[in-house]
């Protein structure tokens, strides 16, 4: 077990009726980007978060629901929200950071994935008028719709992620309990879905761990891994961890960050009653089976107090972990 120390933090001002929630944080070349419930996209210098945002930009989505790094290496991020709109921001550009804005549809956007290699943004919507849709947009120069799929899920689409090396492949997760793998190069929606995985619970997060294996995490913290290689067409998980609240002794899992080298992922698990948040590594054991490394968990004592941690991200070169929470704080953590 390893313990990190809180070395810096910034508190967003509270709203008139409630605390400001810091919803997400992502690493970019321009700095640490966050979105918060006061509808702000903020950029921080990761070496001095406590000094406050370098820039604070109004997102204008009604309520902002999600953010993704479009191209972290160039400081371009995307935000989306309740009114069905998407904003594309170049965080190096200061006050004129928003370089594009478009409306994918009328329904609230709940999930988003970005593919810089194909200049594509995918967004997933909540169920409205008996349909939950995935919209694909090309964001080169003037954003334009590429495709809309409205029959792949029967409820809110809560998670989207592109394949790490084949950007035409997309995985979606929904509150209908399904995680589905799609080949977006197929024009016919009836032939779009390559595999459907039944997690039997509303899905909070789903993504590729590597070229052939995916995970799904449910809203009631059940976690499993599937092999979706072409030769494995069965729907059974190759590793079902069950309820992580029992496995990890936590109350919730904030999110799962996959490793870019395909070696696994890091799960962020919290317990409000213990004022504790931990990072647990998922990797393959000696028997080539996926396992959680419970002996080498990383502990962030005190966490965000009794409030929920909404996200975490890493600045590996600086060996700093950042967390955001419903207490209105962005916190920086480092070993020692």
| Mean per-residue pLDDT over the chain, rounded | 95
Question: Among residues 314, 206, 199, which one has the least CA distance to residue 253?
Answer: 206
Does 64 score more than 90 pLDDT? yes
Tens of pLDDT, residues 226-251? 999 876 666 789 999 999 999 999 99
Does 95 score more than 90 pLDDT? no
Does 62 score more than 90 pLDDT? yes
Tens of pLDDT, residues 273-329? 999 999 999 999 989 999 999 999 999 999 999 999 999 999 988 899 999 999 999
CA distance to 125, 197, 216, per residue, from 172 (Å): 11, 10, 10
Tens of pLDDT, residues 127-136? 998 999 999 9
> By the 8 A CB rule, do 114 and 133 touch?
no
Q: In CATH, which superfamily holds the domain spanning 2-335?
A: YVTN repeat-like/Quinoprotein amine dehydrogenase (2.130.10.10)
The pLDDT score that the predictor gives to residue 310 is 98
Here the tokens at position 252 are: 């919730």
Q: What percent of the chain has pLDDT over 90?
A: 89
Please count the helices (runs of H) and the strands (runs of E) in the chain: 1, 28
Domain ranges of the chain: 2-335
> By the 8 A CB rule, do 184 and 168 touch?
yes
The pLDDT score that the predictor gives to residue 234 is 63
Q: Where are the beta strands (DSSP E) in 82-192?
A: 85-90, 98-103, 109-115, 120-125, 134-138, 144-149, 157-162, 169-174, 178-183
Tens of pLDDT, residues 157-210? 999 999 999 999 999 999 999 999 999 999 899 999 999 999 999 999 999 999
- Kindly indicate the confidence band of residue 72, based on its pLDDT and cuts at 50, 70 and 90: confident
* pTM of the model as a whole: 0.95
């Amino acid at each position: 077990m390893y313990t990190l120390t809180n070395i810096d933090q910034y508190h967003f001002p509270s709203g008139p009726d409630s605390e400001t929630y810091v919803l997400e944080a992502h690493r970019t070349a321009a700095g640490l980007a966050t979105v918060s419930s006061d509808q702000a996209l903020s950029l921080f210098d990761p070496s001095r978060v406590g000094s406050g945002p370098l820039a604070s930009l109004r997102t204008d989505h009604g309520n902002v629901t999600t953010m993704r790094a479009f191209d972290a290496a160039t400081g371009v991020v995307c935000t989306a929200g309740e009114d069905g709109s998407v904003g594309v921001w170049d965080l190096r550009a200061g006050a004129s950071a928003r370089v594009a804005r478009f409306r994918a549809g009328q329904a609230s956007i709940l999930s988003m994935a970005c593919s810089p290699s194909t200049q594509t943004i995918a967004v997933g919507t909540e169920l409205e008028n008996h349909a939950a849709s995935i919209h694909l947009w090309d964001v080169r120069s003037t954003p334009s719709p590429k495709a809309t799929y409205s029959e792949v899920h029967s409820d809110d689409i809560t998670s989207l992620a592109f394949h790490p090396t084949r950007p035409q492949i997309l995985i979606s997760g929904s509150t209908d309990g399904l995680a589905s793998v799609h080949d977006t190069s197929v024009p016919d929606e009836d032939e779009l879905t390559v595999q459907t995985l039944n997690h039997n619970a509303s899905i909070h997060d789903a993504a590729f761990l590597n070229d052939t294996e995916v995970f799904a995490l449910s809203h009631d913290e059940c976690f499993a891994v599937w092999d979706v290689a072409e030769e494995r067409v069965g729907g059974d998980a190759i590793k079902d961890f069950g309820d992580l609240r029992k496995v990890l002794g936590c109350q919730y899992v904030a999110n799962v960050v996959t490793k870019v080298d395909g070696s696994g992922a890091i799960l962020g698990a919290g317990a409000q009653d213990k004022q504790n948040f931990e990072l647990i590594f998922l990797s393959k054991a000696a028997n080539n089976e996926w396992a959680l490394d419970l002996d080498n968990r990383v502990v962030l004592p005190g966490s965000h107090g009794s409030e929920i941690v909404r996200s975490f991200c890493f600045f590996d070169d600086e060996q700093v972990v950042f967390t955001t929470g419903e207490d209105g704080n962005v916190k920086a953590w480092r070993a020692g």
